[in-house]
Amino acid sequence: MKRLLVTGGAGFIGSNFVRHLVGHTDHRILVLDKFTYAGNLASLAGLPAKRVEVVHGDITDAQLVDRLVNEADGIVHFAAESHNDNSLQDPLPFVRTNLLGTYTLLEAARKYDTRFHHISTDEVYGDLDLDDPGRFTETTPYNPSSPYSSTKAGSDLLVRAWVRSFDVPATISNCSNNYGPYQHVEKFIPRQITNILRGIRPKLYGRGNNVRDWIHTDDHSSAVLAILTEGQIGETYMIGADGEHDNRTVVELILELMGLPPDAYDNVPDRAGHDLRYAVNPTKLREELGWRPHYCDFAQGLRATIDWYRTHEDWWAPAKDATEAFYARLGQ
């Protein structure tokens, strides 16, 4: 492949993937991003203009998508409305972007027979009990809980149908919770780090027993590149790095790493329909493609992430007040 179209390439994970491509391949990269509140050109700063071109546009714009896909040898589709709490307040943008946007890209991929990789989430499988010994696999039945996860589940099913009915050469990956630099301050880990940097107490939903399976975003990117280059067309791959922790433990660890007492946080009202536990079994990816995560020590990855937010206030400060005003309206 020579020229890759990366949708949502100005977001948290998409921009990481663009940097990963620049460092590990010689592809040219065309970013298509709407620059919603979550897109940030500063996340792509410093990349060579010869390799990375940015188009400001919407994945539901069929004419624009047709033109860009016609020029591309492959598509990696990250663009989405991505935050559960937003989807509980206003689901419509999730339906538009995650469903209609994916449909629009698939139709163009079908027309030009273009390699398509769809980025999805472990949330499409619903949640697990805390004492369930199992983890999600590629054959776990879909059972999404929130407007966000239901639209991601719908987008996965569109991809599967376009593979089966129209032979679109597509793969899907379902990844667990990402952390690392450039993540929007609405999300759990950066919200707590930047709260502490601002002198605000971290906010834990409910009792904080909910478990998430954390992976560093660099590891997500290396897994996506492995699937894009070596994955079997029509297949789904789970991406995870054996990083299960409950939310209370994560908040306590952030407080400890930032030199504060472990109980210096507030319990706030729980999220509606809050999924209890996510856990990913990445055996297929490890055994079939030989992929391994680089970040195996969560505390070390978290320390580096804290350092990044400490030294990049110019990147996150513009979004902080509006984000906290949103949570204040919800009492969270």
Catalytic residue among 125, 148, 278, 295: 148
**134 to 153: interface string for ligand NAD, x by CB under 6 A:** ------------------x-
| 34, 100 Cβ separation under 8 angstroms | no
Active site residue 256: no
Contacts of 95 (CB under 8 A, 6+ apart): 147, 151
Dump strand ranges (E) for 187-264: 203-205, 211-213, 215-216, 236-239, 244-246
Q: What is the DSSP code string of 83-119?
A: -HHHHHH--HHHIIIIIIIHHHHHHHHHHHT-EEEEE
Binder to ligand NAD among 27, 115, 184, 284 (CB under 6 A)? 184
Residue with Cβ nearer ligand NAD (25 or 36): 36
Residue 27 contacts which entry, ligand TDX, ligand NAD, none (Cβ below 5-8 A, type-dependent)? none
Tokens of residue 13, six digits: 């994970």
Binder to ligand TDX among 40, 145, 150, 177 (CB under 6 A)? 177
Q: With CB under 6 A as the contact rule, which of the stretches 67-75, 76-84, 104-112, 194-202 interacts with ligand NAD?
A: 76-84
Residue 203 contacts which entry, ligand NAD, ligand TDX, none (Cβ below 5-8 A, type-dependent)? ligand TDX
Considering the rule CB under 6 A, would residue 97 count as an interface residue with ligand TDX? no
What whole-number distance in Å separates Cα of residue 119 and Cα of residue 102? 10
Give the CA-trace dihedral at 97, 230, 170, 143, to 10 degrees. -60
Considering the rule CB under 6 A, would residue 323 count as an interface residue with ligand TDX? no
Binder to ligand TDX among 27, 77, 203, 216 (CB under 6 A)? 203
| 77, 102 Cβ separation under 8 angstroms | yes
Considering the rule CB under 6 A, would residue 13 count as an interface residue with ligand NAD? yes
Binder to ligand NAD among 30, 58, 144, 181 (CB under 6 A)? 58
Active site residue 123: yes
How much helix, strand and coil, in percent to the nearest 5, is found in the chain?
45, 15, 35
What whole-number distance in Å separates Cα of residue 81 and Cα of residue 102? 12
What residue ranges bind ligand TDX (CB under 6 A)?
82-84, 121, 123, 177, 187-188, 191, 203-205, 210, 212, 247, 271
